[in-house]
Every structure is written in structure tokens, then in C-alpha cells.
Structure 1
């Protein structure tokens, strides 16, 4: 019987397995992932990783490997306008470091992150099984048993579900969700441009939804473009000329001519919040626990916060001789993470509804609010520290403060 079985081999699943195994090498930890062994090498996407999560990667000992591929986000500007407006007035800017000269976030290619996490897991002694899905879940007083798609049954004192927003393990455990669809999709791709971005990220609030362009290494940027679902599907399937014309209509020419160089994908957007994060012998983490709108860029980073809190809960319980899968132990993790997740889910929902429309009175109100924040340094500093995960308030897990477990 295993001590911990993680179902899902993305950022969150690999990170929680690594965090627990590094801090408690005597625990047996395995990861099961649905994708084939080398599928991660073909992922063209990049993700914005906040400063607090970078501290966790430093504790893991993998940041030095990732850093050469990472692009610091040194500045962010926010605009609000109509698609056809010739000028996009800037209402809010963020710049500067948050702690120890560190930028508030980095853009990191998924390939660099996942490759480093997988190698560190192998070095720590975490076994990874590829190309397998969870098809069954049964509980007993001492363990949970997961049936895999090849018929294998694995038992563990604790099962961690990191199997995405449509989590099968969550459903099999009977955990209900609060869910609704925004009628929007997020277009994700990579673009090349003539002029350097100088580490500046931009978010333009347009009537159909936020349009974000995030800096990558070189004269390249990652695009996260929200549109109504039917329009997003049209743009993804359009030829390059049409796509780039629509891109220029929304972003303009400040970086010179732009060319889409990556695969274009559209992902449906909605809100999914699990009503519980734990069940007997089971903990949810990452998208299995929460799926939010990308308007704040916090979705993946919420998952890293789950990792830090769950790993600390498990390791601390093991050190004092408690059963790491006991529901009383797991309740601490749930209490730690559920309110923050609910707060972020509500915040992104309100922001999306507030900014994804073209009503003049609402536009005037939100532009006044953005301008007010921009003119109040203390309030602006609070927001940027919260976004970077370095703010005060609730207890921060040790990993997010750069402290080992």
C-alpha cells in the first residue's frame, strides 16, 4: 500500500508529489497521469507564475534550471476601451519589485516547468505511471483504492485528485460543485513581434472580455484572448491573415507587425468551485478543486497555493505520527484553502461581469475605479503584493515564504 497516490501529472500533481517526497523521503509516493510519457514535450504554452510560487520552486531546487527560460514581468498596464477605438487609454499601471528585488511574476514555458518537475520527482524517488486514467474509487477505513484504466488497482492512505476541472475522482467521491458557463472561450497562442516588449504585460478590457498579451523570451509574447465562444471558434479556425488582422484591431501596432507562430487553441471559460476540498482519504487540488476565469491570471497560482498548504498539512501530520489520510487531518487543508479560493472565484466572476460589457455607465464607473487605484500608492502596493502572493493577512504556507517543510 502507498502512502500517497496523486492522480494527475501536471504542474500541481507533480509539485505536491515532489514537495511531500522531498520533505518526507520515507513516504511512498506515486503519480498517475493520463497523457503518454512524452506528451508534455509538445506543449507550446507558457504560464504566469507569481513570486511566491517561485520561492517554492527554489525550495524544490529547480529554479536555477528554469530561470534561463523564464521572462520576468517587470511592468503591467491595464486599459479599457471599445474594440474600434483608435487609442487605448491606460488607466492603471503596476511596476517594480515586490520582495528582494523580485518581479511580481515570471512567464515560464510549460515545457521548462514540467521537465524540471519531472526530473526532480525522479531524483526524489517518485514513481510516475503514464497513459492511465482513474476509473474507480473505493474507500475503506485504512485506505482508498483507485482502479486504473488498465485494470490495475492502487491503494493509498491518501489520494490527491489533480485530474482537472472535470475531475473524475471528485465525481466518484460524490463531491458536488458550483458551476456555470460564461459563454466565453479563451484563445491561447504565441505571437512574434518586431519590437521588444521590455518585460511589459498588457491587459486590455474589451467588450467581449479581457485581451492579455504576456512577455516571453525574445520578441515573443503569449496571448490569452477572451471572446464569445462562437467568435473564438471562428478565429481559431481562420487563416493566419484573418487572425492577425483581428489581433491588430485589438492590440494595435505598438510592438510593430505581429505574427502568430504557435498553435491556436480555444478553451471554454466558466466557474467551477468544489463544495468540499476533502473527503475520506481524498484531497482535491488545483483545477479539480477550482476553475476560475483567467481575467486575473491566478488560476494556476491558486493550484500552487493548494500544493504548499496540502504538502505542509501532510508532512506536519506525518511528523507527529498522525494518519495523513485521516479526515480530521485533511480538514486543516480545507480550512486553509477554501475561503481564499472562494474569494478569488467571486472576485474573478465579478470582474468578468463588470468588464465584459459595453454599457457606458458601467464603463465610467470601472474607469473611475481603475484611475483611483492608480493614484493611491498604498492601495496599488496592496493589490500587487496580493497578486504576487507576498501579501500579509492569512497564514502563508512555508513553501510560499521560501522555507523548507
Structure 2
């Protein structure tokens, strides 16, 4: 059995794992990425917010990503709950806070393919398309056992292996999980009218129904509904589904047709007791799982990676190794509050839509009305959503050097 040694090993070759491997290799660390690519098309997209765009620019992959993405210049919210306190539709425009777009929407698989292409040519990065079967630590670092034989040793192991992370389980890191009485149906659609780079979110009593622009007259849909209704919708033929979408969207984009694969995602959440263990750091869905609301999941995963990168760089300047206790404690401090706040925000929004209680409806409607009519408040909220000023990792500030 052969053993290879690296500074940093990343396990999991999704978008978060690929970005982590690229980030560390970019800084000169001998890095290995372990795992096979998942390029199945399931109708899911991600809206990359401003910080994620800057991060991808720093990794040198943004031009390839932008070519397959559509800008989100306006975000429109329509209260379709039937509440007595239903406010008028609200529109938020990126130009109001000096941005060309709040973010860019791209199919998940296209993003993974762009990151993978960059990884194949990145110096100091080795790709090992195998599954990991074992994980252990000793004084020198962490050791990963591969399915086809051989081991990998590294000072820092980065677990980017998803919500069912084997590395997290082997490290004994506890989790809290919860679920909602909903599922989200995802699908790619073509439509008769231009979306005008506008994302439209209908707040319904069963959850958000969100149409997000893609290049051309195409949009991605996340339709959150009761589990039974989401299963019914996902079982419709293309023509019936397109008609159901058009009606739910109040014909706002004209006639629809299904233009890509569809998926069905149970609405659930996961949080962890801590973000690291001995020589191990958790990133992405190994550390937190969100329902597909508010574009938080992958953007938060990229923020994990950029924050871990800062902790490793700063720890190194103080003489600590990438997987040292001091470096990982710095990472823990950098992630805890950010993740908790985002988790609470997404959970709170979803539950307020489901409750149907008059006081809750009143507060939600009053809040949206205030954002629509009070310009300074609206701009503060928009900036915090896409351009937070506190605790932003350096690569998300547009800083290209360590």
C-alpha cells in the first residue's frame, strides 16, 4: 500500500470541494482533491451572490462561469399568501447600491464543470478520482484510506463530502437535523417573454415559488409546496407542468415550456456542533444544510472555504500548520455566528409563510412594505444581503493576494 503526502487534502469534488482545492493550490500548498465529479443534470441552479463572484474571480474561473450565467439585476417579491395584510409587490434593484447585479444564476452542473476544468490545469493540485473509505489522525496529521488501495497523508483534511459526510461521522462531530412538511420541485423552463434579468419570488402559503433568470428566454424554478403537491407536480408530463407553472406565475413570463431536467428536493436542515476536529475542517453541506430558499447554501459554502483559507494563511504567518489546533480554532470563530444567523433567517422566512397566524402575516407584510417605501432601510438590507461589511473573507473582498 502506497502513501502520498500533501499539505492539504480535500475530500469531495462538488463545487465547494473543487473551489477549496483551487484556493489552496493557488496559494502554493501541495493539495490533493479526492472524489469523483457529479455532473448529473437535475434542474437545480445556484444564484452566485457578489461575494461568491469575487471569490471565483480570485480563483481565475469567473470568465468561464459568467459565460453560462445570467445576471440578477432586479429581485421582485410578490405576496401570494392570501393574507389580509398582503402588501403590494416589491422590487429591489442592484443599481441602487452601485452593483450591476445582485448575483448571477447558473446551472449547478455548469458551475462544477467550469471549476473542474480549472482544477485539471492548476499547478500544485493533484486529482484522485477515488472514494475514501477510512480516516484517522495522529500527531503528524490526518490519514485517508482510499477504496482502491493506498493512503493519503496531509496536515489538514477538508471535508467537503456533503450532508452525509463520512469524515464528519468518523471524527465524531455531532449534528442537529430537522425537516419541514414540504419539498421543492426544481426545473428549467423556456418562456415567451423576456425576464429582463429579474428574479421573481411569489410567497405562497406553502412556501416560495421562485423564477430566476438564465441566459436567453429561460429561467430556473424552485417551487416549494407540500410534500404531496410537490410529488404530484413532479409527476406531471411536460405540457401539464408548464401550464401549472404559468398559472402559478400569473402568466408573468407568458407561455412556458419545460426546457431541462427536473428534480425533487425534500426540505430539511442540518447544523453541526463544531466546524472542525483534530486536523479536520468541515465546509459546505458537511457543515450546514439549508432548504433551497434565499440562495444561501452554496454561497455560504464558498464563504466557508474562503474563511478557512484565511485561517490557514494567518495561522501560517504565526508559525502554525494548516491543520493545527490554533488554525482550526480561528476557523471555528470565523464561521459560528455567520452560519447561525443565516440558518435562523432562512428557517424564519419559511416558517412565517407556513404559519397562517394573523400577527405573523401582519409583521411580514409590514416589513416588506417598509422595505419598499423607506429607501435608506432598503439599501441597508440589500447591502447586508450581498455586500456584508463585517467578517468577509479576503478573497470575497476582491483581494487577489494573500
TM-score, normalising length: structure 2? 0.93
SS of residue in 2 equivalent to 1:19: helix
2:398 is aligned to 402
> Residues of 1 paired with 2:122 and 2:15: CA distance?
16
2:32 is aligned to 30
SS of residue in 2 equivalent to 1:262: strand
1:161 is aligned to 159
CA pair 99-65 structure 1, distance change in 2 beyond 3 A: farther
2:191 is aligned to 193
CA pair 98-395 structure 1, distance change in 2 beyond 3 A: farther
After TM superposition, list the pairs within 5 Å mapping 1:104-183 onto structure 2. 104-125=102-123, 126-130=125-129, 132-183=130-181
CA pair 321-267 structure 1, distance change in 2 beyond 3 A: same
2:352 is aligned to 354
Could you tell me which of 18, 34, 38 is aligned with 2:22? 18
Could you tell me which of 289, 292, 312 is aligned with 1:291? 289
2:77 is aligned to 78
What is the CA distance between 1:213 and its match in structure 2? 0.5
8 Å CA contact retained: 1:206, 1:357: no
SS of residue in 2 equivalent to 1:17: helix
> Residues of 2 paired with 1:375 and 1:288: CA distance?
40
SS of residue in 1 equivalent to 2:388: coil
Q: Which moved more, 1:348-357 or 1:333-342?
A: 348-357
> Residues of 2 paired with 1:362 and 1:44: CA distance?
33
What is the CA distance between 1:290 and its match in structure 2? 0.6
Matching of residue 391 in structure 1 with residue 388 in structure 2: yes
Could you tell me which of 253, 262, 265 is aligned with 1:264? 262
What do residues 138-189 of structure 1 show as CA deviations (whole Å, max 9, x unaligned)?
1111111122333432221111001111211111110011211112111111
What is the CA distance between 1:98 and its match in structure 2? 6.8
8 Å CA contact retained: 2:81, 2:205: yes
> Residues of 1 paired with 2:63 and 2:318: CA distance?
33
CA pair 98-7 structure 1, distance change in 2 beyond 3 A: farther
Alpha-carbon RMSD = 2.1
After TM superposition, list the pairs within 5 Å mapping 1:88-99 onto structure 2. 90-97=88-95
> Residues of 1 paired with 2:88 and 2:145: CA distance?
53
8 Å CA contact retained: 1:382, 1:391: no
8 Å CA contact retained: 2:87, 2:366: no
What is the CA distance between 1:73 and its match in structure 2? 0.4
What is the CA distance between 1:360 and its match in structure 2? 4.1
User: Number of residues paired by the alignment?
Assistant: 395
What is the CA distance between 1:276 and its match in structure 2? 0.2
SS of residue in 1 equivalent to 2:293: helix
> Residues of 2 paired with 1:307 and 1:102: CA distance?
25
SS of residue in 2 equivalent to 1:324: coil
1:208 is aligned to 206
CA pair 98-372 structure 1, distance change in 2 beyond 3 A: closer
> Residues of 1 paired with 2:251 and 2:323: CA distance?
55
What is the CA distance between 1:319 and its match in structure 2? 4.2
What is the CA distance between 1:315 and its match in structure 2? 2.5
What is the CA distance between 1:84 and its match in structure 2? 12
TM-score, normalising length: structure 1? 0.92
8 Å CA contact retained: 2:239, 2:257: no
